[in-house]
Amino acid sequence: MTAEEIRAGASLAGVYGLRMLGLFFILPVFAIHASTIEGGEDLALVGIALGAYGLSQGILQIPFGTASDRWGRKPVLYAGLLIFAAGSFLGIVADDIWTAIAARTLQGAGAISSVAMAAAADLTRPQHRTKIMAMIGSTIGAMFALSLIGAPVLYRSIGMGGLFALTGLLSLAAIWVVKSQLPELPPVDRGAQEPGVLRRSLLDPELLRLNAGIFVLHVVLYAMFVVVPPLLVEAGLSLAQHWKLYLPVVLGSFVLMVPAILYVDRRNKSKPVLLAAVALLTLVEAALGVVPLGVSAIAALMLGFFVSFNVLEAMLPSLVSRVAPAQGRGTAIGVYNTTQTLGVFFGGLLGGWVARLHGPSGVFFVCAGLCAAWLLVAMGMRRQPRSVNELSNAAL
């Protein structure tokens, strides 16, 4: 990669990381914090609060991506980060479940994920996009790990209001990264917009497979975190000690994901690696539903989960960027991120609803079924070209 590509990847990974850290800080502690606020005893509402930002993001990802195709990536990034900060600051005063839901919804209205991914694709050559997306995906994973480790400790020190305040400040810091660190992007060519981009982004079979996959992945993630933190507490690991499980598990998953990503990048073997990761995800969810869940069993199964999750988070956006039309990349990635964030919303909703009716094992079995369905859908995917020559030949 060139120095410009490395700088682009690092700066966008920083923007993603700062923003996702703010979102993730809430995830490990909110299910337990909710019992202390008005209305928080209803697990269905707790699940909605966890996933509410996904609904507003799901509605706004395509408009944000399309706006960035027309008016440029950076102005849209600034606007989205300011909206996210506003939602975070609203969360400071959330002393009931409905205000918390409103704060999370406003956070999600800063729907910049598609814009940032489109910027990454604009600034990198096709043969290096998997590396850049892996860099961004690994940063998201690292921020997730940091939130799992740091959120329980920070929650004990500064409370939920303090966590929301910190997320707002991190969003403002991300604006500085965009302004001062992100390389200048190619000028927007409004006359080059391809007709029918939205239709193709919604109906292209390969994009449909990828969009379905990211939807399922985030349904599973957020459904799990309605029940996993309370399970750990029941197993004898207090909230302040959860980092002792999450730290080795997530760091180990980063090490184990590297060979898979390098294999994809060097051999262009996306399909077998993706299928293997989804199969592992299915087995992990099924095992969580049947294995007696002590701390050690949860740790071992969560390691398998995070290996799969990190590999898929790195691969899926790279595949979307190859399939999407160049002049409509922001729109296509907007559709992808719409399905991703709708997965967040429905994951929280589904996890809370199923947990209330059937307990944690019901949540894991439903997640296993969704992963198995994804595996069947993914089996039909085509090999995607990665080099410039391959892309040109594919177009012909």
Full 3-state SS string of 306-352: HHHHHHHHHHHHHHHHHHCCHHHHHHHHHHHHHHHHHHHHHHHHHHH
Confidence (pLDDT) at 396: 29
DSSP 126: G
Confidence (pLDDT) at 387: 41
Establish if 394 belongs to a structural domain.
no
CATH code where residue 247 lies: 1.20.1250.20
Confidence (pLDDT) at 371: 95
Establish if 315 belongs to a structural domain.
yes
Is this structure's pTM higher than 0.85?
no
Confidence (pLDDT) at 313: 82
Length of the chain, please? 396
Residue 165 near residue 92, CB atoms below 8 Å: yes
Confidence (pLDDT) at 328: 62
Beta-ladder partners of 96: 38
Establish if 185 belongs to a structural domain.
no
Confidence (pLDDT) at 179: 84
Establish if 191 belongs to a structural domain.
no
Establish if 156 belongs to a structural domain.
yes
Establish if 332 belongs to a structural domain.
yes
Establish if 189 belongs to a structural domain.
no
* Domains identified in the chain, total number: 1
Confidence (pLDDT) at 326: 62
Confidence (pLDDT) at 393: 34
Residue 214 is part of which domain span? 7-180+199-382
Residue 243 near residue 149, CB atoms below 8 Å: yes
Tokens of 384: 């995607």
Confidence (pLDDT) at 339: 85
Establish if 391 belongs to a structural domain.
no
Confidence (pLDDT) at 150: 83
Residues of the chain with pLDDT under 70: 126-131, 133-134, 137-138, 141, 185-202, 265, 267-268, 325-331, 383-396
Question: 73-91 and 129-180 helices cross at what angle (nearest 10)?
Answer: 70
